[in-house]
Each structure stands twice: as C-alpha cells, then as structure tokens.
Amino acid sequence: MAWRSLHLFRDLYRSRDAFPKPFLQSPIATLLHPALSSALLQRRSHADAAPPPSAVQNPKASNASGDENKSPPFRSSLNEAEVAKFAAIAETWWDFEGPFKPLHLMNPTRVSFIRSTLCRHFKKDPYCARPFQGLQIIDVGCGGGILSEPLARMGATVTGIDAVEKNIKIARIHAASDPVTSSIEYCCTTAEELVKVNKKFDAVIALEVIEHVADPLEFCKSLAALTAPAGATVISTINRSVRSYATAIIAAEYLLNWLPKGTHQWSRFLTSEELVLILQRASISVQEMAGFVYNPLTGEWSLSDDTSVNFIAFGTKGSECDS
C-alpha cells in the first residue's frame, strides 16, 4: 500500500497543470501529503509566471480585411489542446470498458433528463416510441455519437458536430450499422462556423463540452445563436467544487483510472451559478437543473437535487431574443 501511495504522489507531482492553486492551498491537498501540496504549488507558481499562450482562433474566422479593430460577432471558443487530447483517444468511443466508460454509464440518465424536459417544452408525448419526431436537434461536441444515436432513435432529425475529425469518422461508421441512426448528419465543424451560415435548431445540446472550450461565454452565445426562437438548450458539465475535485479528478483519473490523467482541469469547471449567469448573458433562461449521482454499489447513475459534482441544465430561448 505504501508503494502504491508513493507512485500516486509521483504521478500527481508530475501533473502540475491539472492542479489549480485553490486546491493546492486547501486542507485536502495538505491531508494528501504536505510536501506534495507545497511542491506542486511551487511548480504551478513558476508555470503561472510564464507568459500565457496566445488565444486560439479559428483561421476561417479571421478578419480578411486586416482591420484589427473589427472582430467577428462570434469569436472561436475552440481549444486546440483539448481537441488534440480527445483526438488521441477517438478510437475508443464505443469501447464500453475504455476511457469513455463513465459517459456510457451516465448516458441513459442524461437521455432521461433530455427526454423529459424536451417533451414538456415542445408538448410531446414522453411515453410514445418516437417523441422527438419533427424536431431538429444538434449535438454539439458529439464525439463518437453516443448521444446522437439515442436522439435519432427517438425520432429527431439529428446533426452531430465535433472539432475532432477522427470522432466524426467513427460516429459515421457506427451510425451506418443501423438504418435508424444512419440518417444522422455528422460534420467536422464548430458551433461558431454553423452560426455564420445561419443554421437554426429546435434544440441545441452540448454535454460535457463547455469545460473543454477556451471561452465559455462565447461558446454559449454560439449555442444561443443556433437555437431557434422559443427553442431549447441543454448543457451538462462538472461543478467546480471540492467534491468534484475529489471525485471527478482524484478518484476518476488517479485512483480508479476511469479516465486518462489530465482529462479534466478543475479550474475550467463552472459552478451551477456561473453557468446560469453565462447562459443569461447569452439570452438563454435556465428553467430546470438536476445533478447526477453515481451509486458505486450498483454502478448506475441517477438524477438528483445534488448538483455539487455532475449537473445538467435545461434552458429556453424566448421568441423575442435575437442572438
């Protein structure tokens, strides 16, 4: 056991960028190992002193006229480092025992929330086999399509977009094996690019994406712009809390090895209050929110009032809003 702890501390020490200052200064870090907390904080301080890298911009969104005083209405929120991170494990999307196993386990609960909220909003029968018939839905950051496919099976006309080309290729191959899901339109693009061509959808869904973008507000503005008047937006993410650090990073990445180390950065997480305010600024009004709770005894997820770790928000765009 002692040797395992030493190996764990060694791995944690090498992962300076995954540890935000608030955690390193917290009692939890000290309890883990006082020397570990001090050493990581020192290394993190040196890293923070270095000049930050320039913001990642979408080349297609650059100003061709050369006028630096003019900026496009929707700046790119693409984070190239995050894109590369997920491209490296793209082949494992449909491996139920691979890095995306937590998402596969959580997916039925995510779908349940989406089905319930969208059916209420669009006055659909939640008990029929295809309640989303007639709805145009976009899955932003679709990955390998593990959410897009259930949406298509519920009758929606689905568009799945992702910035990782490998993800799109894998999603297309997997969807082609079923006549129902083969109708999904997958595109390697970003929300900002679709805004430029004035695309609109009844429902815009972005699950476990916002914590990986460079600018959450710009990302949400793009989601709002893609949402048709009186449409709906659904976002899920991880709360920035002590519990989320202990479970989503320390436990999931370092102890249980559910996810590759460095998958998440705690400092990029948003609290539920912050997400509500960001969506308000993007003309989306949050109507309902729920947390996801994992039961280690059953290995299943369920909806809960506890939003301190994983949570999902349903919002609407008023017909008067023009994003």
Strands (E), the chain: 136-140, 157-162, 185-188, 201-207, 227-238, 285-295, 300-304, 310-316
Q: Which residues are annotated as a binding site for Mg(2+)?
A: 208, 211-212
| Number of residues that this document lists for the chain | 323
- Binding site members for S-adenosyl-L-methionine: 110, 141, 162, 207
Give the end-to-end CA distance of the chain in Å, rounded to a whole number: 56
Backbone dihedral angles phi then psi of residue 106, each to the nearest 5 degrees: -80, -20
Tokens 């990955």, residue located: 143
State the amino acid at position 19 in one-letter form: F
| Tokens 């301080």, residue located | 45
Residue with token string 């916002």: 210
Binding residues: 110, 141, 162, 207-208, 211-212
Give the CA distances from residue 243 to residues 2, 34, 303, 317, in Å, rounded to whole numbers and listed in that order: 25, 20, 17, 32
Distance (Å, whole) CA 189 – CA 245? 31
